[in-house]
Structure 1
Amino acid sequence: MIWQESPSNSHPVRGTSLHDEVAARLRSMVFERQLAPGEWIDEKALAAGWQISRTPLREALKVLAAEGLMELVPQRGCRVVELSDDDAEQLFPVMALLEGRCAFEATRNATPADRASLRHWHDQLELHAAAQDRDGYYRANHEFHTLVQRLARNRWLDRATADLRQFLRLMRGRQLNLPGRIDASINEHRVLIDAMLSGDAARAERTMHDHLMAQLAALKAVRQQERAIAPHNDPHVSAPLTKGNADAG
């Protein structure tokens, strides 16, 4: 599939560091699935729509390729990375360890203001869960986890977690497509917020770790459902983990 320019992305790009601004816009488009996994980048259309030359665009694509979000293919161009089943199986346990440690250190270091911020984002999760709003839940969940990461106040942990979190974002909460997953997820978050607000760092770490592993289990269940449906359409087609029926997370 070749990416086509949309009206919302057709305004000019301006800035003192042009390729950094272009990279930021491309990164946002990937995470918002305006550029879907596996899509080829139409450099000519992007450059024309943003009113820039192809030089800063190509530099920006190299930046995203270095980050692992894009793949440069000789003689073909550049496309958005797709994560495989094996990628997910390997990534989630690592993120479970990292995010578990984030929860431990955030709980131990949290100030009253920090705990109020955690409560705020948990309340947002409750609202979206009650409405079964997958997109809203996905976005609030991302904010909550990012906040826990920041409140850990460990720059090395922050660096490692942030680097890998962007690959989870490629899946865009696809596990929430599993029936009942939002209800299960909010129950996991209730245990987590209770542990964090009560200052039980060890329980917060265990709960966060198990929450990430539950996400992997749900993702695998979604994948199994898709495999069961796929033969009715094309027995030779098997969608990668990054593709789903819904864009919400």
Structure 2
Amino acid sequence: MRDLIFSGELLPGAFVDEVAIAQQLEISRTPLREALKVLAAEGLVRHEQRRGCFVNQVTEQDLDEIFPVIALLEGRCAFEAARNATEADIAALETLHERLNKHARAGRITSYYEANFAIHEAIITLANNRWLAQVIADLRKILKLARLQQLHAPGRLQQSLSEHMAVFAALKARDPEGAEAAMKTHLTRQREALRELARSGRSKLA
């Protein structure tokens, strides 16, 4: 079900046809309903009395509320990562940032997103705090539901790269406060880029 939602086969606001989906997945409606309960708890779907289940839609207000929280959480991850990272960890991060830089120079946005995700995951792993990781993962599911494409904002690709390099520089210098501040700036500017896209009428919010 998550795959159907994240792939766009079930769009935000779409009615979840339990009969059709149970047939498609070749399962009974009982496990499907259990799955929908889990997805409702994650915020991906909602149940409306007498109407059924619908895929949730992420609003601009949702984004305004989520981004400051995830900035705080990922900022803390960067703080902990700067304290925990070994020389081998820094070397691995450097390789990821070289890949990020290469994709940015070539303008390969999809590949850049993949490298970007790998870097964020690596920093979260280095923080070694399962509670932070769990809450961030939950919030990311909601952001993924929004199908955001903030790198389409003019100049955002190079700006994002610069922000990542600032985070990496602080991690390499073992500067927890600097890494935390740089990561918070990175996430805050993502929201600003999305807001700019919305104002220009070119928002990729599905």
Q: CA deviation digits over 1:42-94, x for unaligned, max 9?
A: 32222222211121111111110011111112222222211111111111111
Question: Is 2:102 the counterpart of 1:102?
Answer: no
Q: How many residues align?
A: 206
Question: Is 2:81 the counterpart of 1:115?
Answer: no
Which residue is 1:208 aligned to? Answer: 183
**C-alpha contact 2:75 2:180 (8 A) present in aligned 1:** yes
**AA paired with 1:53?**
S
Q: 1:70 to 1:97 in 2, by over 3 A?
A: same
| Other structure's SS at 2:58 match | coil
Distance 2:9 2:49 in 1: 24
Which residue is 2:200 aligned to? Answer: 225
Q: CA deviation digits over 1:15-34, x for unaligned, max 9?
A: xxxxxxxxxxx223323333
Q: 1:83 to 1:74 in 2, by over 3 A?
A: same
Distance 1:27 1:150 in 2: 23
Which residue is 2:43 aligned to? Answer: 68
| Other structure's SS at 1:165 match | helix
Which residue is 1:152 aligned to? Answer: 127
Structure 1 residue 174: Cα displacement: 2.0
Which residue is 2:56 aligned to? Answer: 81
Distance 1:145 1:114 in 2: 13
**C-alpha contact 2:76 2:180 (8 A) present in aligned 1:** yes
Structure 1 residue 143: Cα displacement: 2.1
| Other structure's SS at 1:183 match | helix
| Other structure's SS at 2:9 match | coil
Distance 1:198 1:172 in 2: 34
Aligned Cα RMSD in Å?
1.9
**C-alpha contact 1:69 1:81 (8 A) present in aligned 2:** yes
Structure 1 length normalisation: TM-score? 0.76
Which residue is 1:53 aligned to? Answer: 28
Q: 1:112 to 1:29 in 2, by over 3 A?
A: farther
Between stretches 71-80 and 57-66, larger displacement belongs to: 71-80
Distance 1:111 1:80 in 2: 42
Consecutive aligned runs of 4 or more in structure 1 exceeding 4 Å deviation: none
**AA paired with 2:185?**
D
Out of 116, 121, 125, the position equivalent to 2:100 is 125
Unaligned runs of 5+ in 1: 1-25, 230-238, 244-249
Which residue is 2:109 aligned to? Answer: 134
Q: 1:136 to 1:41 in 2, by over 3 A?
A: farther
Q: 1:161 to 1:125 in 2, by over 3 A?
A: same
**AA paired with 2:58?**
L
Between stretches 46-55 and 121-130, larger displacement belongs to: 121-130
Structure 2 length normalisation: TM-score? 0.91
The answer to which structure has the higher helix fraction is 2
Distance 1:97 1:152 in 2: 14
| Other structure's SS at 1:78 match | strand
Structure 1 residue 113: Cα displacement: 2.7
Unaligned runs of 5+ in 2: none
